[in-house]
Chains A and B, each alone.
Chain A
Amino acid sequence: MTQDEFEHIAPALRELMLSVGRSFFGNDDDAEDVAQEGLVALLRFIDRMESGVRHDALAIRVAKHCCMDMVRKRKSSPILALQASKGRAVSGKMHGDVAPSGCDTGASPHEHLEAKELYEAVNEAVKHLKPSERRLFEMRQIEGLELDDIVKQTNIAKPSIKSIVSAARKKVFAEIKERLRT
C-alpha cells in the first residue's frame, strides 16, 4: 500500500481507534493518544498492508495493543500513573487501570532482554518461510483474520489454508526453539 492510499483510509481507521480508546479509557484525551499511536504503528506496517482490502480488524487490534501499552507505561511510571489518576478524577469515567495478569509491567532487564531475543527469533523464523506460508501466517497472526476472511481475500480453499498455516507454524516453532538453544 502506498502512502497516498494510506492517507485516504487513515480518517476511517482513526475513528475506529478513537472509539476503542474511548471505550477503554472513558475520556477523549487518552482516546486521541491511542488513535495517534495506532496510526503511527500502522504507518510502519504500510509495506505489508494490501491495497484494496479493508484493514478495520487490524486497526482495532493495533488500538487495543496501544491501550494495553499505555496501561503498562502508566503502571511502570509513577508520574504517568498520577497524571492518569488526575485525569480520571476530572473525567469521572475512567475505570481502574490495573494491569491484567500476565502483563510484565515490572519486568526486569533480564526479562526485557529475553523478550527482545524471542521477538527477533520469531522475525527471523518468519523471514525464512516460503512467500505463500509467510503471507498466510501473517494474515492469521498479525491481522487476526479468521479462516473465512482469508478464503475471501486469497481464494484458497480452507483445508489448504489450514495445512499451509500449520506447516508455517511448525517451522517457526522448531526454528525458534533451535535458536534459543544456541
Chain B
Amino acid sequence: MTYNETEILIKKYLNGETTAEEEKLLAREVAREDVPDDWKVIAGMLGELTIDEALFDQMMAERKSKPRIMRLWPWVAAACVAAILIVFLGPPREETITEPQIAKVDPKAKTVEVKGTEPKAIEPKEQNISQVTARPRQPHKANRRANVSKRIAKEEIPTPRPVEESDIVPFEDSRMQFAEQARSLRERGNRVIQRVSMNGLPSNNYQLNDL
C-alpha cells in the first residue's frame, strides 16, 4: 500500500466506515517501523489484538501459498516424463490402425481378377473406332489399337470367380503387405507389357519395366 492509500484508509477508519478486513490491512501498514506519529496512534487504537490477528492471517496465508508452489513441481515433472515415454516408447501408429483393415488377396483369385478386368478396359470397340476417326493426327496408331482390341475381344475369356471372404487372409506385418502389393503390381505390369508386345505394340512404358 502507498502512503496516500494508507491515509485514505485511516480517514475511512476514523469515520467508522471500514470493514474488519480493511482494518486488518490498515493494522499491517501502521504496525511497521518508522511510520508517522499519527499512524502510531492509529496502531494503538486498533490494539494488539487486531494487529496480531492481521499478522497471524498474513503468516498463515504465506505458508499456504508457498507449499502449493513446491508441491506442483513433482506432478509437472511426472506429467512431462509420462508424455515423453508415450511419444518415444509407444507402439507405431500405422500397425495399430492398418493391420486389421487390410487383407491379402489369394494369388489365384488375383490372376482371375486381372484377366477379368483387363478386357473390360479395352472392350468397347465402337468407341475406339470413333476415337480414331475423331483424331486425324495419329491415324496409324489408332487403327492398330482398334485391330488389337478386335483380336482380344475374339479370345475366349473365362468368367472370373468372385472373391469370397475366405480368400481374404489378413497380413500380420505391414511391410510384408506392402511387399506383396508391390509384387502383384509388378506382375500385373509385366503381364500388360507382355500382352502388348505380343500384339505387336512397342512397350514405351519404362516405368512399368523398371518395376
- Partner-B contacts on A (CB < 8 A): 23-24, 61-62, 64-65, 67-69, 95, 100-104, 114, 118-119, 121-122, 141-142, 144, 146, 161-166, 169-170, 172-173, 176-177, 180
Contacts and interface: CB of A to CB of B under 8 A. Distances in A.
B53 A169 contact: no
B52 interface: yes
A179 B40 CA distance: 13
Contact of A162 (B16, B43, B48, B60): B16
B37 A142 contact: no
B49 A102 contact: no
A176 B57 CA distance: 28
B41 A61 contact: no
Nearest to B58: A100
B22 to A, nearest CB: 11
B16 A173 contact: no
Given A65-B53, A166-B14, A104 B33 contact: yes
Contacts of B43: 118
Contacts of B58: 100
Nearest to A175: B41
B13 interface: yes
Given A142-B47, A162-B17, A24 B41 contact: no
A66 to B, nearest CB: 8
B178 interface: no
Given A102-B31, A118-B40, A172 B47 contact: no
Contact of B37 (A68, A122, A164, A180): A180
18 contacts: A23-B60, A24-B56, A61-B50, A61-B52, A64-B53, A68-B55, A102-B31, A141-B46, A144-B20, A146-B19, A162-B16, A164-B16, A166-B14, A166-B15, A169-B16, A177-B37, A177-B38, A180-B41
Interface in B1-36: 13-17, 19-20, 28, 31-33
B42 interface: yes
B44 interface: yes
Contacts of A64: 49, 52-53, 56-57
B56 A169 contact: no
A67 B56 contact: yes
B45 interface: yes
A176 B42 CA distance: 10
Nearest 9 A/B pairs, CB to CB: A166-B16, A102-B31, A165-B16, A64-B56, A65-B52, A118-B44, A68-B52, A162-B16, A100-B55
A177 B56 contact: no
Nearest to A162: B16
B16 A102 contact: no
A25 B200 CA distance: 102
B33 A102 contact: yes
A141 B14 contact: no
Contacts of A62: 49
B45 A122 contact: yes
